[in-house]
Structure 1
């Protein structure tokens, strides 16, 4: 059997069986896909060396994952978020980034660690909303603050990409100015489109009809994604940022298509995105676990990332109470997708070696397992405190 045929068969089987195994071991599907990819890669089911087609499809799977993450961000809803919550969220994020820089500096770690430690991704928080309910107070607040955190993380990812590739020279500052100009342009486009759809709401339904027999919603979404990727390529910015912005655009201006996010997510998580995670697993063969100090270093990374979120979550205690603040901390301690993205970027740019790359991948899995277990443990009985927003933006706590 040729290498390409073996890879296609292996991928097909792993994508199919992953949900069954995840249900059996009571873990999210994502870490299971990574583990299965590691095992398959270790026993040679993906052939020798890096398969170009496998790599390209996996990279697009990652970009589609960033696109789906952007679909979680509705700018209009975000701008209507209560100021008390926003202030608390920014305080939490400020503490998180300050602790990350301080700890990495004190331990003599490189700036890559400073970038990775505070990362937040809403990807796995979505699985929590399915299990515990979107209207559960701590889940709702976790998603809102997680969206802010992911926006900042995506910008940091873009800056880190420019810094890794160009260093702190003129090219880097040129890329920063390009990024700033792009963000300002997107803000202007948002304002103009908001006015356009306000005065002519029928344009929205023409572009994406309520009753669609030709899948125009999917076509427009994919066109937006690829156009944004083309703009990122032209400007020399991080592709993941463009994919994320494309998702934000669709979520913000076409929220009338309530089933669109589910359709796009189902396609991604059912096909493209698992290929990315399996590919990541294949780059971490189980033989790597035998490297001296790898497991210990991975645990140290995971402990630091959970610890700083626990400390930063103290900002939520007044708003929600200690238990809900702890739940939010653990829900944000699973930035698996962005952690892998930054680690992969740094490894390819030779800012970190293979040992540290493998440690980051293993740490991302450890964080998911520990955080999921902790959240289940804290939710064994009904939380005694709930986040309740009183009229006028003031907060109060209710006993359950």
Structure 2
């Protein structure tokens, strides 16, 4: 009983104090929560507890759900063909790099999937700081397609790790194809329904909503799709992600809804997931031979391959903005941690690489944010110089 009280109080204090420390240190709040989780876990204030594990898992699924709400499927499907071709080329270069690096260094084949991961989670935080710049708009479009690919690979990798390569994997792939076909048919049916009867959308989520119907329906969709994933024995994150996409795609009149959902998640559930990740990272692991070197090399490799691949968009953005776009994809913190945890629990990677990946995700989130800020400030200064000289 005493241990549970200490756990609850510690989590509460971390959630409350993290924004203040993030502001003082001028780094994203997520790394602060993970670092606090590691420090307080090491000090014995955070410990294994069944309820803590469940809430953290729910926090992760909700984070993936929020990532989905950043993607309007109708807008994504309207992306010009030429741009789609370049995005596909960009992703192909990333996967080409990851395959080459994995084979050259003799790493676990899982790194072929790990290294090109893209998540739009932290890109959304960049939008709040830098506004809707061309490089961020393209970053979100390419990131949306990249994240769909990443979530797909996460689902298949999860199935492979659980069932192995055999009949079980084939059944999982068929279940996934069946589910995708069903979801495509459902999306088309709802699109037609809302096109013929637009009042249905506003009755489900009214403009003047005093009963929080929008939140209730969003949560209903979230749980239904996660439940479907449980039934089909597919990766739960995939269902959560599709549920998120559903919101902006069909309820465009509720422009404030994704922000409402994100406020709830980032204020409560999602920090618990990151605190849990920190608590599972044993600080004494920092003294493991070669850990920091491996984490730095992973960070460097994942950053450089994105910067090189982003040069595909030089014509659309210019060199500096193309590099900024590539850097914005070099922080797949949530998916990288999720995939690393999945692989470690399935004994596909050893403890050293698990901790190296967790550490690399922190290095990326902190260093990339700083680098983007420096490049953006330098770009702004260059723009101001001609005005000053004039």
TM-score by length of 2: 0.96
* TM-aligned CA deviation for residue 385 of structure 1: 11
- Counterpart contact for 1:320–1:385, Cα < 8 Å: no
What is the distance in 2 between the residues matched to 1:385 and 1:149?
A: 32
2:182 aligned residue (182, 185, 196): 185
* TM-aligned CA deviation for residue 227 of structure 1: 0.7
- Report the secondary structure of 2:110's partner residue: helix
* TM-aligned CA deviation for residue 383 of structure 1: 5.4
1:31 counterpart residue number: 31
What is the distance in 2 between the residues matched to 1:208 and 1:223?
A: 13
2:19 counterpart residue number: 19
What is the distance in 1 between the residues matched to 2:112 and 2:376?
A: 31
1:377 counterpart residue number: 374
1:176-255 maps to which residues of 2 (within 5 A)? Answer: 176-255=173-252
What is the distance in 2 between the residues matched to 1:16 and 1:246?
A: 29
* TM-aligned CA deviation for residue 381 of structure 1: 3.4
2:301 aligned residue (296, 304, 308): 304
* TM-aligned CA deviation for residue 61 of structure 1: 0.2
2:315 counterpart residue number: 318
- Counterpart contact for 2:69–2:247, Cα < 8 Å: yes
1:346 counterpart residue number: 343
Structure 2 vs 1, CA of residues 154 and 148 (structure 1 numbering), >3 Å: closer, same or farther? same
Matched, 1:86 2:84: yes
What is the distance in 2 between the residues matched to 1:101 and 1:317?
A: 24
Gapped runs of 5+ residues in structure 1?
Answer: 387-400
Gapped runs of 5+ residues in structure 2?
Answer: 384-390
2:253 aligned residue (240, 251, 256): 256
- Counterpart contact for 2:37–2:46, Cα < 8 Å: no
Q: How many residues align?
A: 383
* TM-aligned CA deviation for residue 129 of structure 1: 0.3
1:70 counterpart residue number: 68
1:139 aligned residue (127, 136, 141): 136
2:120 counterpart residue number: 122
- Report the secondary structure of 2:140's partner residue: helix
What is the distance in 2 between the residues matched to 1:212 and 1:311?
A: 47
1:287 counterpart residue number: 284
- Counterpart contact for 2:66–2:262, Cα < 8 Å: yes
Matched, 1:10 2:7: no
- Counterpart contact for 2:248–2:255, Cα < 8 Å: no
* Residue-by-residue CA offset, 1:120-144 (whole Å, 9 max, x unaligned): 000000110000002x111111111
* TM-aligned CA deviation for residue 250 of structure 1: 1.3
TM-score by length of 1: 0.94
- Counterpart contact for 2:72–2:245, Cα < 8 Å: yes
- Report the secondary structure of 1:381's partner residue: helix
- Report the secondary structure of 1:121's partner residue: coil
Matched, 1:335 2:332: yes
Single out whichever of 236-245 and 363-372 deviates more from structure 2.
Answer: 363-372
Q: CA RMSD in A?
A: 1.4
What is the distance in 1 between the residues matched to 2:249 and 2:381?
A: 35
